[in-house]
Structure 1
Amino acid sequence: MLCAALLVQAEDLPDDFASHTPLTVSGEGPWYRLELPLALQLSARQSNLNDVRVFNADGQAQPYAITLGEPQRAEDQTPVAVKWFPLYNSDDARDAEPKIRVERSTNGTLVEVLPQGEIEAGEEILRGWLLDTSAINAPLDQLILDWSTEREGFQRFSIEASDDLQHWKRWGEGQVARLSFADELVEQRVVTLPGRSARYLRLLWTTPQTAPTLASAQVVNTRPGALPLSWSPTINGSVEKPGVYVWQLPVALPLERMKVAITQPNSLAPATLYGRRDSNAPWQLIDSGLLYRLTQNGQDVVQDEMELPGNVVQQLKLEVDDRGGGLGNDAPKLSFAVRATQVVFLGRGAPPYSVAIGNATIKGANLPLSTLVPGVTQEKLASLGSAKLTVTPVEVPSAAAPVAAGLDWKRIGLWSVLVLGVLFLGWMAIGTLRASRHK
């Protein structure tokens, strides 16, 4: 009986966790999928999410599995070079949409692109560039440009896509930059594309007279099967010294992207980013790039994000070159993103169900997904019922202080009862044995 009592007391209970949020379920059970918001993950006390549990209405823990949003990158993401063709307009129609006639090879690849109509020599204006991406049968994720060295500063252009060179769809705007600081050169040559397929891309410069001469154009395919990102609310940082900002995350996480809130107009900051797992580890270089918020033609042009390799970090440090003006005296707010994390659980007992998180000492209880859902496939996983939080967490908790290894009085008390019970039984057995010998 004492052993049974000990096992009952050792079961996980909802009150053992710092955060406890009700769930609503829909679809056909008994399995349900829950997208775990990053704001809720920040309540965890263990970076591997061992302290996540799902309970039913009677407080009974449910079997569950965690599919962590680890980055799914292709091993080889070599950019693919594409052909580019200049688009000209006449001087009196420099802002008009270029009209072109093309010549193709037998396999459909463009050989030459010429203006539709005659333009007298010396009156042609470089309006933009046409890229032939017809050889790439995959969604386009990034565009990488290089241009002539005499054109420094910012290059801003619209991006349009077409499959027939007649009908064009707008894909947004692109921004690249090349700036010189003393003997150093800072470049931003990568433009994000919307991850869709197209046979041709058209880049039209906002100000035609600033259009540079391209030296190369490359595209990168979309990462196959990449999971969506889950973004955090903003957190505050601190100033280590002028131009050096440090942010402490509530828990160590595998970060994929970060965004710095640049509030001051006309800010320009060549920056280097470092990260580490804890305050005792050395800083590791993550990335370098150019952050800015500039006003051009009455519009703000912003580059405020940096890509991270998915390493688990809890502290970030940004060193800014103050020759560009910096990011101000106070540390800017920071938000970060991880790959979306999913909890799959088997609903047993009476609903409503709830998710609990936040316990520094509890051991993990998650099962492999193939064990929880026998014969699981991507199609079967997508067809499972869904669960959602009834309350959306919006605040980021402060970073949890390291938990000192202290005495677990609850466990000590239970074991003391068990040991005393055994001693009492032994004392009774000895007394009975003595009485039997006396008789």
Structure 2
Amino acid sequence: MSQKLGWLGAVALGVALSAVAQEKPADFATQVPLSVSGEGPWYRLELPLNVQLNARQTDLSDVRVFNAAGEPQAYALARESVQTSESRTQTDVKWFPLYSSADATERAPSVRVQSSANGTLVQVQPSTELEAGEEVLRGWLLDASGIKAPLQQLILDWTSERDGFQRFSIEASDDLQHWQSWGDGQVARLSFADERVEQHEVGLPGQSARYIRLLWSSPQTAPTLTSAQLESASSHSLPLPFVWSPPLAGSTVKAGEYTWQLPMGLNVERLQVELIQPNSLAPVTLSGRRDSSLPWQPISGGLLYRLTQNGQDVVQDQLQLPGQTVQQLKLTVDERGGGLGVEAPTVKFAVRATQLVFLARGAGPYTLALGSGTVRAANLPLSTLIPDYSAAKYAALGKATVDGGAVVTPVAPASVAAAAHTDWKKIGLWAVLLLSVLFLAVMAFSLLRKPAAKP
């Protein structure tokens, strides 16, 4: 009797194993060919945003990589830099005025500098003596020698007499002799509808420097600083860069209220609003939600503008978001500034880049597949996928790229039909398995109730 039950159990196990079929490329709605270069067997792929948007699961649980034989590859997803801890610090720094004569032709004033043994600035003076009344304030020199971490943001305050926009160039140096451009900066203080609107922060490129030089575009408008701070972050805390979406059209709900539907739930961190009309000024509030059944939640706000000054456009068209998952966005505009027009402006949104690392097994070419609402996550931690994992080893991985300029290839209808047929087959096999188990249970119950034969 025990042998018969063991044989029936083996049959049932075989049926169960055959029912759990391995995932195939045809199970996914989108397939993208990959090219690999560099030394394997691990390859790192930065997922283009237009490819990610073909996923059907917000957390990319339905992403897979297959080899030429259709075998799935082990993989990991990385949405943050190799080192993920972050420590940001705001530091008050000394600032020194940069003067030159009114008729000076040099872009940057020449100065004499006195510093301490550790490089801290003690005194900054013009290289030539200036007579009273002929000096012009060209800009400011900031002493960042006490900050060792990369600089992320500059925060300024200035005398209230100087309203309007303040534009300047930003340069960095370690020796006060050789200067590197860090782009342009802009701060603002505006009076609007009996309210005060101020912008004090300027983004920096995330590099280290001992000294920062700010040179005003129009020296006559250079304000007197009252405060200067630098925000720094440890180098190991830098996140992956942003990837931007194509322009997204929206809808007008009513005057001063616009909505946009994202292709899927995304962790949006930046929103760029197209400002077509010159001299647009709009205080705004941005709200978001996962779907239409949920209430709107405020997630950002600020002042958007496109103004013309001295023949140049001064533009602030981006909002910073906290990175929570949203699929619908709503912008509410204070129309006292003139609004943004009747038609909803187009927007672009930015998310953090996502990298996929896979272990190449079997022959290529390799294919990225995604687009399934039923499969479960199969990604591994990076430390499991790559033994003796380290930042140096991660940086040396081979690279994979999407072929054909990130052109996605939807699965043909016949393939989708085949996948659907396979799913019905699985259901049938599971039904056979359950009937077999039920048959075994009935059989065992009848044997146990049968009275023992008399000797």
Same structural fold, with TM-score higher than 0.5 when normalized by the shorter chain: yes
Q: What is the one-letter code of the residue matched to 1:170?
A: S
Please state how far the C-alpha of 1:140 moved relative to its aligned partner. 1.5
Q: 314, 322, 328: which is aligned to 1:315? A: 328
Deviations 1:258-313 (A, max 9, x none): 22222322222222222223323333332222222223333322222222222222
Q: 59, 63, 74: which is aligned to 1:63? A: 74
| Structure 2: 5+ residue stretches without partners | 1-10, 411-422, 445-455
Which residue does the alignment assign to 2:390? 377
Which residue does the alignment assign to 1:109? 120
Q: Does 1:300 align with 2:313?
A: yes
Which residue does the alignment assign to 2:355? 342
Preserved CA contact (<8 Å) 2:149 2:234:
no
Please state how far the C-alpha of 1:129 moved relative to its aligned partner. 1.2
Compared with structure 1, are the counterparts of its residues 356 and 115 closer, same or farther at alpha carbon in structure 2 (3 Å cutoff)? same
Q: Which 10-residue stretch deviates more, 409-418 or 420-429? A: 420-429
Compared with structure 1, are the counterparts of its residues 39 and 2 closer, same or farther at alpha carbon in structure 2 (3 Å cutoff)? farther
Which residue does the alignment assign to 1:405? none
Distance 2:437 2:317 in 1: 66
Compared with structure 1, are the counterparts of its residues 5 and 29 closer, same or farther at alpha carbon in structure 2 (3 Å cutoff)? farther
Compared with structure 1, are the counterparts of its residues 72 and 233 closer, same or farther at alpha carbon in structure 2 (3 Å cutoff)? farther
Distance 1:364 1:266 in 2: 49
Q: Does 1:124 align with 2:139?
A: no
Q: Does 1:20 align with 2:36?
A: no
Q: Which 10-residue stretch deviates more, 386-395 or 286-295? A: 386-395
1:27-426 alignment runs, 5 A limit? 27-69=38-80, 76-93=87-104, 96-222=107-233, 224-225=235-236, 226=238, 227-393=240-406, 409=424, 411-418=426-433
**TM-score, structure 2 normalization:** 0.83
Deviations 1:223-267 (A, max 9, x none): 533222222222222222222222221121222222222232222
| Structure 1: 5+ residue stretches without partners | 398-407, 430-439
Give the RMSD, CA atoms, in angstroms: 3.0
Preserved CA contact (<8 Å) 1:71 1:339:
no
Please state how far the C-alpha of 1:187 moved relative to its aligned partner. 1.5
Distance 1:376 1:56 in 2: 24
Please state how far the C-alpha of 1:23 moved relative to its aligned partner. 0.8
Please state how far the C-alpha of 1:21 moved relative to its aligned partner. 0.5
Distance 2:385 2:107 in 1: 61
Deviations 1:143-198 (A, max 9, x none): 11111112111111111222232332222111111111223221111111222222
Compared with structure 1, are the counterparts of its residues 117 and 425 closer, same or farther at alpha carbon in structure 2 (3 Å cutoff)? closer
Deviations 1:306-340 (A, max 9, x none): 22222222222222222223322222222222222
Distance 1:314 1:66 in 2: 22
Q: What is the one-letter code of the residue matched to 1:196?
A: Q
Q: Which 10-residue stretch deviates more, 72-81 or 222-231? A: 72-81
Partner of 1:279, secondary structure, is coil
Deviations 1:57-99 (A, max 9, x none): 1212222222233897765523111111122233333875322
Distance 2:404 2:443 in 1: 56
Compared with structure 1, are the counterparts of its residues 89 and 371 closer, same or farther at alpha carbon in structure 2 (3 Å cutoff)? closer
Preserved CA contact (<8 Å) 2:149 2:235:
no
Preserved CA contact (<8 Å) 1:94 1:125:
no
Preserved CA contact (<8 Å) 2:167 2:187:
yes
Residue-pair matches, total = 419
Q: Which 10-residue stretch deviates more, 106-115 or 343-352? A: 106-115
Preserved CA contact (<8 Å) 2:88 2:233:
no
Which residue does the alignment assign to 2:418? none
Preserved CA contact (<8 Å) 1:157 1:174:
yes
Distance 1:32 1:120 in 2: 65
Preserved CA contact (<8 Å) 2:248 2:347:
yes
Partner of 1:236, secondary structure, is coil
Please state how far the C-alpha of 1:6 moved relative to its aligned partner. 6.1
Please state how far the C-alpha of 1:417 moved relative to its aligned partner. 4.8
**TM-score, structure 1 normalization:** 0.86
Preserved CA contact (<8 Å) 2:284 2:304:
yes
Distance 1:371 1:165 in 2: 47
Q: Which 10-residue stretch deviates more, 69-78 or 8-17? A: 69-78
Partner of 1:93, secondary structure, is coil
Compared with structure 1, are the counterparts of its residues 249 and 293 closer, same or farther at alpha carbon in structure 2 (3 Å cutoff)? same
Compared with structure 1, are the counterparts of its residues 425 and 159 closer, same or farther at alpha carbon in structure 2 (3 Å cutoff)? closer
Preserved CA contact (<8 Å) 1:270 1:321:
yes
Compared with structure 1, are the counterparts of its residues 344 and 96 closer, same or farther at alpha carbon in structure 2 (3 Å cutoff)? closer
Q: What is the one-letter code of the residue matched to 1:262?
A: L
Of all paired residues, the percent bearing the same amino acid is 63
Partner of 2:50, secondary structure, is helix
Distance 1:416 1:303 in 2: 61
